[in-house]
Amino acid sequence: MAEKKVAIQVEKLNKRYKLYEKPSDRMKEALGLARKKKFTEHYALRDVDLSIYEGECVGIIGTNGSGKSTILKIITGVLNPTSGNVTVNGRISALLELGAGFNMEYNGIENIYLNGTMIGFSKEEIDAKMQDILDFADIGEYVHQPVKTYSSGMFVRLAFAVAINIEPEILIVDEALSVGDVFFQAKCYHKFEEFKRAGKTILFVSHDLSSISKYCDRVVLLNQGVKLGEGSPKEMIDAYKQVLVGQYVVPDETAFEMDDEKKSGNLLSDEELQKKAAGENPELLEYGTKQAEITEFFLTDERGVRSSAVIKGTEFDIHMKVKFYDNLPAPIFAFSFKDVKGTEITGTNTMVEKAFLESVTAGEEKEIIFHQRMSLQGGEYLLSLGLTGYEGDAFKVYHRLYDVYNVTVISDKNTVGYYDMGSQITIK
C-alpha cells in the first residue's frame, strides 16, 4: 500500500504576542529604554503539531480565541510563527479574509488579474479562468466598475469567485462558505463538494458543526492555543460541546487505550450487550454537574409499546425520567436527533416549546414526554438527551447524554433530504 504524501506539516508551532498596558511601554522597549519588562505574554498557539495528507479534508474547531485563524494565517504565510516549522507541499488558495488583496481603486477585472498574479498565475492562465470567475461571481457589468463602489455582497461574491476558481492543490477555508444570499451559498457549497470529489486537500475552519461533520474526514480540536485532540468529526464535536460548558477532561494515554479496546467489543459486559441490543449505547458520552439526573429514558411507538424502531409517518413519544438532587430555578429538558455522521438534524426543548418554566425542589422526580410525528427518512439515527438550565446569567449543564439511543426509522418511501414534507399531489 502506497504511503500517503504529506500536504501540510506543522511541528511544534508557537505564536506568542506581547501585550502592553499602554503604547508608550511598547515604544520604550523598542528603544531599549525599559528597565523592566513592560509586557505580558499571550500564546495564540502553543506547541501545536499537525499533519494533513494529500486528498484529506481536515476540519479545525474550537471556541473564539482558540487559535484557529492564527494557524491558518501561519500556514498561508500571512503571519510568521514565533517558533516551530511549517512545510507546505502544493499550491494554496486561501479563503481567509475575503478580498484582503483587492485594490479598492481598481475595477473587478483588474483585481482578478492582481489576485491571480499574487497567487502565482500567469496572464494566460488567468485569461483561461476569467469566464468561470465572472460566471461564478455573477455581478454583471459592475465588474468593470471600481470595487470601492460595490455593495458588501458584490465584493464578497467577486472575492470568493476569484479564490475558489483558481483550482489549487490545497484549499484553505476560514468561515467563508456562508457568504452572500442563500443561492450564492448553495453555489459555494457545491463548488466545495467538487473540490472534495476531485481529491483536493482541504483545511477547513468553521463554527458550523453540521458542515464540519458533513465534509471532514478528520477534525482537530483547539482550545486557548492548545491542541486538545484529533479524531473523527463525531468524537471531536462531542468533545467541543464539553469544552463549551467547561466540562472537558483531557484523556490520558490509558483512557485512549481503553477506548480502543472497548471499540473492539472485548470489554462490554453482559449488561452492556443487553442495552446495546435494546438500542441503548453502552459507550455513550455523559457529563454534567449531576445536580439532577436523567435516570431512565425510552421510546414508545404509536401503540404505546416500548421500541427503538419507529415507522415513518406515525406518532411516537420520547420519555425521559429525571430526579432532582438540588433546588433548581427552571430546568430545561431537551432532545435532539443526529445522523450516523454526527450531523444534528432536529430537536427541541421545553423552554423553546414553553412547556415547563417552573422551579423544582430537591427530591422531586419528573417524567417528561415529547410527543411528535416521525418525518425523518428511513435509516439509523442517534438520540441525545439534555437537562440544563440558567442560574442567573450562567448556563448550567446538569446532565447530558450524547448519542444515548439508536433509533431506527422504518420507511417504504424516502424523499430527497433529511425529512419528508408530507407533500400532497394533485394533478388536473
Locate 186 and state its grid cell.
448553495
**Cα Dmax for the chain:** 89
Q: Cell numbers at residue 206, please?
A: 468553521
Query: Quick one: pLDDT band at residue 401, thresholds 50, 70, 90?
Result: very high
If one counts every other C-beta atom within 10 angstroms of the C-beta of residue 84, the result is 17
The mean per-residue pLDDT over the stretch 266-293 comes to 68
**All 3 cell numbers of residue 343?**
450531523
Domains and CATH numbers, the chain: 6-90+169-244 (3.40.50.300), 277-410 (2.70.50.60)
Q: Any idea what the Cα angle at residue 188 is, between residues 187 and 193, rounded to 5°?
A: 95
Where is average pLDDT lowest: 32-46, 87-101, 119-133, 254-268? Answer: 254-268
pLDDT one-digit tens code per residue, 325-374: 999 999 999 999 998 878 889 999 999 999 988 999 999 999 999 999 99
pLDDT digits (tens, 9 = 90+) for 177-188: 656 666 777 777
Between strands 332-339 and 379-391, the pairing is antiparallel
Rg of the chain on CA atoms, in Å = 26
Q: What is the pLDDT of residues 305-338, one digit of tens each?
A: 988 889 999 999 999 999 999 999 999 999 999 9
DSSP three-state, residue 113: helix
Identity of the residue numbered 223: N
Assign residue 197 a region (left: φ > 0; alpha: ψ between -120 and 50; beta: otherwise): alpha
pLDDT band, residue 263 (cuts 50/70/90): very low
Look up residue 138 and give its DSSP letter: -
3-state secondary structure of 372: strand
Q: Which residue has the higher pLDDT, 81 or 243?
A: 81
**H or E element at residue 236:** helix 233-244
What are the grid coordinates assigned to 221, written together? 480540536
Q: What's the full length of the chain, in residues?
A: 428
Please state, in angstroms and rounded to a whole number, the distance separating the CA atoms of residues 282 and 276. Answer: 6
Instruction: Tell me the C-alpha distance between 137 and 145, whole Å.
Output: 14
